[in-house]
Amino acid sequence: MSALDQRWHPVVTVATVVVRDDRFLQVEEAIGGRLMLNQPAGHLEPNESLLDAAVRETLEETGWDVHLTQFIGTYQWVAPSGQCFLRFAFAADPLTHYPERRLDTGVVRARWMTQEELRASTEHLRSPLVWEIVADYLAGQRYPLSLVRQVA
């Protein structure tokens, strides 16, 4: 194994597809002076399960408490910077909204978007993963949450 291989660590993230009235919950973020769109998503924290991370990130970025219903898939993407991301995507139902809750730093707002609005906004997507995950969801790609396990 080379020294470069020993330093390589993909960033593990989670994302949640939340749908209500045929609209997708999206996060509008200020990144590098531009407004970008993403699913509620973020980094897995130490000692946290993927499922707990998805629920936590959704609440922190949107003010919505959700119930995870299905696993959509695992996605690997290498950003233009060379950083590798490994994303685990979940489907969820919205439960309760806390509009008074302060959203994560950099999040401008959470917004509900139709499939057409999201597809027309491809130049504003934070990464190609955003649309890929929605497209897989729309195609019916969903699996039981039991496929994602945390072993003690």
pLDDT tens figures, 61-112: 999 999 999 999 999 999 998 999 999 999 999 999 999 999 999 999 999 9
**152 belongs to a structural domain:** no
Q: Which residues pair with 143 in a beta bridge?
A: 71
Number of domains in the chain: 1
Instruction: Report H helices in the chain.
Output: 3-7, 50-62, 115-119, 128-138
pLDDT band at 139 (very low <50, low <70, confident <90, very high): very high
Instruction: Using the predicted structure, report yes or no on whether residue 2 has a pLDDT greater than 60.
Output: no
Instruction: Return the exposure string of 55-79: e unless at least 16 CB atoms fall within 10 Å of the residue's CB, then b.
Output: bbbbbbbbbbebebebbbbebebee
Query: What's the CATH code of the domain at 18?
Result: 3.90.79.10
In which domain, by residue range, is 53 found? 3-147
Query: Is residue 52 situated within a structural domain?
Result: yes
Nearest to 138 by CA among 89, 86, 99: 89
Cα–chain center distance at 61: 10
Examine residue 142 and state whether it is found in any structural domain, yes or no: yes
Any domain includes 103: yes
In a domain, 35, yes or no: yes
Residue 151, amino acid: V
For residue 151, the model assigns a pLDDT of: 86
Query: Which is nearest to 126 in space by CA: 13, 7, 8?
Result: 13
